[in-house]
C-alpha cells in the first residue's frame, strides 16, 4: 500500500469492494463508471478480451471496455502462512500494493505485505496461468518471499520499507524489481528470469533515491528509461497532496535525472501529475499499453468528499522527449518504431493499431475500443 505515514488510512481506502459512479461523484472529467473506488492500481492487463486491474487489499476489478469496472474477487482466499512470520504481533499482516505482469507463459503478481507503521515489510510473489477465475486452470500459487526490509536496507541508516513492487523487463531479457519506502527512498534489485525470485548471492540493492518517493514504476520509451514515483501526502481525502514525479536515464539502473541535471538520488524530480481543486492528491501510478499507446492508471482523491477513485489517462511525449500529461505540449506515445514502449514483463512494441469506430488520431478516442492482450490471444 503506497501510503504516507502522516495520516491514518481512511476506511474506504482499504475496501476492495467499493462501488462508486465516478461521474455521479461530481467528477465530470473522469469517464470511468462502476466499481472505481481503488487505491494503488496496478497496470491494466488484458487476457482474452477482458481487462484486469489489481489494487491494495488484494482485490481486482475487470472490464470489457476499460470504462465500466466490476469487482472481480481477491487473489488470496486466505493469507499465506509465512506472512505471520514477517509481521509480528500485535500488528496483523495485510496485502498492500501489487504489480501484475506476463512472461514465460505465466502471470506474475508481486505484492507487498505490511502493517500500518510497521517498517518491517516484504514483497512476495504469486503466479497463475490465467487471470480468469472461471477458468478451470485458475489457481494462484504463492512462491514465497522475494525480499524483506532487512535485506532491502543494504546497511543504510533508517528503514527501507520494502513495499510497492514494480517489475521491469529490459530488451536484453534482464528483469529488475523496483520498490519504494516513502521515508528513505526507492531501490532496485535484479530478478532471476527463471524463477521470478531474487538470485542466490544477489548483489546489494541499487539506490535510486535516498529519500524521495514511493510507488515506483519504471518504463522505457525509445532510448530513455523513465523512473516514476509518488510523493507528498496520501490517504487524507481532500487534504491529500500526492503527485507523480519522475526522472530519466539511458540505463535502467539510473541515475535518473531532471531537465536541469538534478538527480532523483538526491530528491530532484520532474512533475508529471499534480493535484488540483477537484483532485488535490493524485498518485499511486502504473503504466500500461493499450491501442498501441501509453496510458497511466492512478488513484485521485476526488471532490467533494475525497474518495480515492480510479483514473486512466494517456501519456504524451514533448519535443525534448520528456513525459507530459498535457496533450497541448506533446504527442501521444505510440508503441512502434523508435518510440517502442517497454513496460513490465511483456515487451509491448511494434504492434499496429487498427482504426475503430472512433478513429485513431484524437486523444479522446483512446478511452475506447480494443487493446493489447498480454497473452496475444484474440480480442472480442
Q: What angle do CA 295, 301, 307 make, to 5 degrees?
A: 115
CA distance 217 to 110: 13
CA distance 64 to 66: 6
| Phi (first) and psi of residue 45, to 5 degrees | -130, 145
H or E, element range at 152:
helix 149-152
Give me the residue label for grid cell 540493492. Answer: 205
Q: State yes or no: cis peptide before 270, omega within 30 of 0.
A: no
Beta carbons within 8 Å of 135's beta carbon, 6+ residues apart: none
**Catalytic hit among 118, 142, 214, 290:** 214
CA distance 153 to 185: 11
**Catalytic hit among 40, 118, 164, 373:** 40
209-231 core/surface letters (b: 16 or more CB in 10 A; e: else): bebbbbbbbbbbbeebbbbbbbb
Beta carbons within 8 Å of 273's beta carbon, 6+ residues apart: 243, 244, 282, 283, 285, 296, 298, 325
- Burial class for 259, CB neighbours closer than 10 Å (0-12, 13-18, 19+): exposed
CA distance 150 to 301: 33
Contact in structure between 210 and 187 (CB atoms under 8 Å): no
- Could you confirm whether 40 is annotated as catalytic? yes
Q: Which residues pair with 220 in a beta bridge?
A: 225, 342
Contact in structure between 343 and 351 (CB atoms under 8 Å): no
Give me the residue label for grid cell 493535484. Answer: 275
H or E, element range at 121:
strand 118-128
Reading the block at residue 247, the C-alpha cell is 526522472
By annotation, the residues acting in catalysis are: 40, 214
Amino acid at each position: 500500500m503506497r501510503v504516507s505515514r502522516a495520516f491514518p488510512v481512511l476506511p474506504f481506502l482499504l475496501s476492495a469492494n467499493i462501488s462508486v459512479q465516478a461521474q455521479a461523484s461530481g467528477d465530470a472529467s473522469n469517464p470511468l463508471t462502476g466499481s472505481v473506488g481503488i487505491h494503488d492500481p496496478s497496470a491494466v492487463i488484458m487476457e482474452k478480451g477482458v481487462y484486469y486491474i489489481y489494487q491494495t487489499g488484494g482485490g481486482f476489478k475487470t472490464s470489457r471496455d476499460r470504462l465500466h469496472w466490476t469487482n472481480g474477487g481477491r487473489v488470496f482466499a486466505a493469507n499465506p502462512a509465512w506472512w505471520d512470520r514477517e509481521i509480528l504481533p500485535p500488528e496483523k499482516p495485510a496485502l498492500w500494493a501489487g504489480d501484475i505482469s506476463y512472461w514465460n507463459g505465466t502471470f506474475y503478481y508481486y505484492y507487498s505485505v505490511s502493517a500500518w507503521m510497521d517498517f518491517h515489510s516484504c514483497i512476495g510473489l504469486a503466479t497463475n496461468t490465467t487471470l480468469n477465475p472461471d477458468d478451470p486452470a485458475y489457481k494462484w500459487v504463492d512462491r514465497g518471499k522475494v525480499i524483506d526490509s532487512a535485506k532491502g536496507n543494504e546497511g543504510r541508516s533508517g528503514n527501507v520499507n520494502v513495499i510497492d513492487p514494480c517489475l521491469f523487463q529490459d530488451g536484453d531479457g534482464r528483469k529488475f524489481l523496483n520498490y519504494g519506502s516513502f521515508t528513505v527512498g526507492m531501490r532496485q534489485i535484479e530478478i532471476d528470469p527463471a524463477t521470478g525470485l531474487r538470485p542466490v548471492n544477489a548483489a546489494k540493492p541499487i539506490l535510486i533515491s535516498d529519500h524521495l518517493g514511493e510507488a515506483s514504476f519504471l518504463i522505457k520509451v525509445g532510448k530513455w528509461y523513465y523512473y516514476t514515483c509518488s510523493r507528498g501526502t496520501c490517504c487524507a481525502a481532500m487534504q491529500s497532496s500526492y503527485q507523480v514525479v519522475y526522472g530519466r536515464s539511458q540505463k535502467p539502473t539510473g541515475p535518473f535525472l531532471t531537465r536541469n541535471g538534478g538527480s532523483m538520488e538526491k530528491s530532484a524530480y520532474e512533475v508529471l501529475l499534480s493535484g488540483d481543486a477537484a483532485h488535490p492528491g493524485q498518485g499511486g501510478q502504473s503504466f500500461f499499453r493499450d491501442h498501441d499507446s501509453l496510458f497511466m492508471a492512478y488513484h485521485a482523491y476526488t471532490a467533494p468528499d475525497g474518495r480515492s477513485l480510479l483514473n486512466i489517462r494517456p501519456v504524451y511525449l514533448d519535443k525534448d522527449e520528456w513525459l507530459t500529461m498535457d496533450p497541448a505540449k506533446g504527442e501521444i506515445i505510440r508503441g512502434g518504431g523508435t518510440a517502442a514502449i517497454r513496460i513490465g514483463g511483456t515487451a509491448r512494441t511494434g504492434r499496429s493499431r487498427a482504426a475503430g469506430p472512433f478513429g485513431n488520431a484524437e486523444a479522446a478516442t483512446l478511452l475506447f475500443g480494443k487493446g493489447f492482450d498480454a497473452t496475444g490471444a484474440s480480442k472480442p
